[in-house]
Amino acid sequence: MFIRQLFDRDTSTYTYILADEATKEAAIIDPVREQLDRDTKLINELGFDLKYVLETHVHADHITSSGKLREKFGAKVVLHENSGANCADILLKDGDTLELGNVEIRALHTPGHTNADVSYAVDGYVFTGDALLVRDCGRTDFQLGDSKTLYHSIKDKIFALGDDTVIYPGHDYYGFTASTVREEKQYNNRLGNDKSEDEFVEIMENLDLALPRKIKESVPGNTVCGMV
């Protein structure tokens, strides 16, 4: 399986391109509008047939290019059914699967950062969006987020995938590119080393974070697949 990790410096967002190398069927995860030309060029250069645009959630810090990629490649836009995004072609439920040639992508509903977060598990890897970051996790103070819910999404679903599972996050602010379930179980600053639910909730309730600077345009823009 082909995996390429791409980065948007302005929002510290990771975008991923996945492909079945035998059939050239591909998916892109969490594309950023300002990187449309970069992503289009790479997909064309590699000769991929873009089948899906997968969103891990309705983002608050950037606007997606999903609608534009659908126009260019005929790909289907995919979000969770709680997203409120009427522009989506496929609305997922927990456990749904998508096929890229011989590659199966399994959707895990991992809410808590928002109520519509999806992690995508495939062949020993999991793309966790903002639910679980390297040594960190997504905030829970808007978009129907909930700290207790996020704690159980990570513990019961992501950590249940197996210690060797590679974690590819939706963002990075510290210079990390990936991790593993084993590492995050031990070293995650917010819920590693068997922190209790109460300890996690206390940490999350005392983060005192400013709102994302693009939230007012990003949330409504992403519910229409970036077609604004």
Structural domain that includes position 91: 2-208
The reply to whether 62 falls in a domain is yes
| Whether this model's pTM surpasses 0.85 | yes
> What's the pLDDT at 99?
98
Percent of the chain with pLDDT over 70: 100
The closest of 124, 80, 67, 76 to 100, measured between CA atoms, is: 76
The average pLDDT across 180-205 equals: 98
Residue 224, domain member (yes or no): no
> How remote is the C-alpha of 14 from its chain's centroid?
9
CATH of the domain at 144: 3.60.15.10
pLDDT tens sequence across 102-137: 999 999 999 999 999 999 999 999 999 999 999 999
Q: Quick check: is 81 in a domain?
A: yes
Instruction: Looking at 171-214, list the stretches that DSSP marks H as alpha helix, in order from N- to C-terminal side.
Output: 181-187, 197-205
Instruction: Confirm whether 29 is domain-assigned.
Output: yes
Distances (CA, A) of 99 to 19, 126, 190, 222: 10, 15, 34, 24
Per the listing, tokens 């996945």 go with: 18
- Percent of the chain clearing pLDDT 90 (strictly above): 100
Neighbour-count burial for 76-106, b at 16+ CB within 10 Å, e otherwise: bbbbbbbbebebbebbbeeebebebbebebb
Domain membership flag for residue 215: no
**Residue 118 counted as domain residue:** yes
Compute how many other C-beta atoms are within 10 angstroms of the C-beta atom of residue 68: 18
Number of domains in the chain: 1
Residue 225 domain-assigned (yes or no): no
